[in-house]
Chains A and B, each alone.
Chain A
Amino acid sequence: MTDLNLSDPAVIAAISGALTKAGVDGIEIEHERQKLRIVVEHNGVASVLAPAAGRAQTSLAKAPLAGIFQAVDGTLPRHVAAGENLGFVRVGPILLPVKAAKTGVLIRALAEHNALVGYGDPLFEIELNS
């Protein structure tokens, strides 16, 4: 595994293809100080968001618990503040907040409204201001 290069287009293409096939919305890989984030669009096209150093840093808002993702209205991209509620995870009648960990630009929702999500699943992606 030490020879894995996350900036290699062939590697990215292979991972994207596997994600799309598996119906997974996205993945974040950290390996040997390399970082790769791939988000699968609804049309099946994968986009690589932060494959290399020098690009904008991003922060993920993750599901606090397993439940049903509840989106809230709002246009993307938009500026959000640290601690702001971005959406909810519903457990029975209870709604838990999905909060922005950092201030930045909310660029993407990674789950669909009413989708079942697991604990720690990434739900939103925020591009950090440098």
Chain B
Amino acid sequence: MIEVIDTGPLNTIQDLGRTGFRDIGVTVSGAMDPLALKVANLLVGNEEGAAGIELQTFPFRVRFGKEVAVAVTGGGNATLDGVAMPPWWVQTAQAGQILEVTPVAGSARGYVAFGGGVDVEPVMGSRSTSLRGAFGGMEGRALRKGDLLPLGDAPVSELAMTGFGVVAPMLEMTSLFPVVEDGTVLIRALPAGEHDLFGADAERFWRQTWKISPQSDRTGYRLAGDPIRPVAPVEMRSHGIVAGVVQVPPAGEPIIQMSDANTAGGYPKIAGIVEADLWRLGQARAGIRVRFVRSSHAEARALDKAMTDYLEDIRATSQMVARALKTIAGH
């Protein structure tokens, strides 16, 4: 059990989402930076998809009710009883200790995972909070002061006792996730169904740099820039969508649908972001500039593989390191 002793608004329990129910209108939800949540889970010895806490507002403080491994990844700086934890790190907290997480410049969301995972009752196969549907996570709402979160049972590993971390994905995979010198994030995407109906404006979509507007949240990101419009206005029939679809409402400034998006949409869509780049948007704050880069299924596969390899490398190496340390300790 852990107790939330301080939190800003909109911090929620998330896992990798409630997939498989779009056909009854249920939003997927799930971590906006699934890569950071997966790493946090691997660090504490959980399955990649265990539920953790997604932090969007700070500071956040919890008090531990028992000894447990705790990892903080993504955009979160942590201290345990006032002692700084390095970034992307797991440590073992003792009963009564307090974890504090503060924001990291240049990132939008921090992730906290606990050994055994946050063990709220799964709803429709997931512990993710659906704020819009008001179910899942902690009573379907954001966390608040005084919440007591149940944790699953899990032994604390020797390695987590020592404390260890990982090289952050942006450092480990620098060449795969390019950023332009002025800080513009390059996001890879494929042209979507109505791309060609935008005529010359389609090229302007790819060429220009868009700014993430302040009216952006887990539901979707609004982009500010030179409006783009189809050659003739079009009305679509409602259809299923996935996170990362880039729609263009009549006003001409695109919207990227994110984790809490509706399951259906009807605005003309100009592009769809490759899934491997979504976590970078999940870490992009309002005001950040993005440019879309035309990608391919082949490139998307290569990126997926690189991310799978990174996670597998963490899993395998941490086990190997744990064995080596055990051998040494035995001498």
CA distance A25 to B171 in the complex (A): 29
Chain A positions 84 through 109: 1 when the CB is less than 8 Å from some CB of chain B, otherwise 0? 11001011111111000000000000
CA distance A85 to B164 in the complex (A): 10
CA distance A64 to B328 in the complex (A): 9
Query: Given A65-B328, A119-B328 in contact, is the A94-B321 Cβ separation under 8 Å?
Result: yes
In the assembled complex, which residues on chain A have CB atoms less than 8 Å from the CB atom of B88? Answer: 95
Is A96 within 8 A of B162, CB to CB? yes
In the assembled complex, which residues on chain B have CB atoms less than 8 Å from the CB atom of A88? Answer: 86, 165
Interface: B324 (CB within 8 A): yes
Binds A, one of B123-131, B239-247, B309-317: B309-317
Is B325 within 8 A of A93, CB to CB? no
Interface: B167 (CB within 8 A): yes
Interface centre among A90, A97, A119 (most CB of B within 10 A): A97
In the assembled complex, which residues on chain A have CB atoms less than 8 Å from the CB atom of B57? Answer: none
Give the Cβ gap from A87 to chain B, nearest Cβ, in Å.
10
In the assembled complex, which residues on chain B have CB atoms less than 8 Å from the CB atom of A65? Answer: 321, 324-325, 328
Is A64 within 8 A of B325, CB to CB? yes
Is A96 within 8 A of B310, CB to CB? no
In the assembled complex, which residues on chain A have CB atoms less than 8 Å from the CB atom of B321? Answer: 65, 91, 94, 96
Is A93 within 8 A of B328, CB to CB? no
Query: Given A64-B325, A65-B324, A85-B86 in contact, is the A93-B166 Cβ separation under 8 Å?
Result: yes
- Option from B310, B317, B328 in Cβ contact (under 8 Å) with A91: B317
CA distance A110 to B56 in the complex (A): 40
Is A95 within 8 A of B324, CB to CB? no
Query: Given A97-B162, A97-B163, A97-B164 in contact, is the A92-B317 Cβ separation under 8 Å?
Result: yes
Is A95 within 8 A of B167, CB to CB? yes
Is B86 within 8 A of A94, CB to CB? no
Is B317 within 8 A of A93, CB to CB? yes
Interface centre among A85, A90, A91, A94 (most CB of B within 10 A): A94
In the assembled complex, which residues on chain B have CB atoms less than 8 Å from the CB atom of A72? Answer: 86
In the assembled complex, which residues on chain A have CB atoms less than 8 Å from the CB atom of B317? Answer: 91-94
Interface residues of A (CB under 8 A from B): 64-65, 72, 83-85, 88, 90-97, 119
Given contacts A91-B320, A95-B88, A97-B164, 7 further A-B contacts (CB under 8 A): A65-B321, A85-B163, A88-B86, A88-B165, A93-B317, A94-B317, A95-B164
Q: List 14 A-B contacts (CB under 8 A).
A: A65-B321, A65-B324, A65-B325, A85-B163, A90-B167, A92-B313, A92-B317, A94-B164, A95-B164, A95-B165, A96-B164, A97-B162, A97-B164, A97-B165
The 3 closest A-B pairs by CB, nearest first: A92-B317, A95-B165, A94-B317
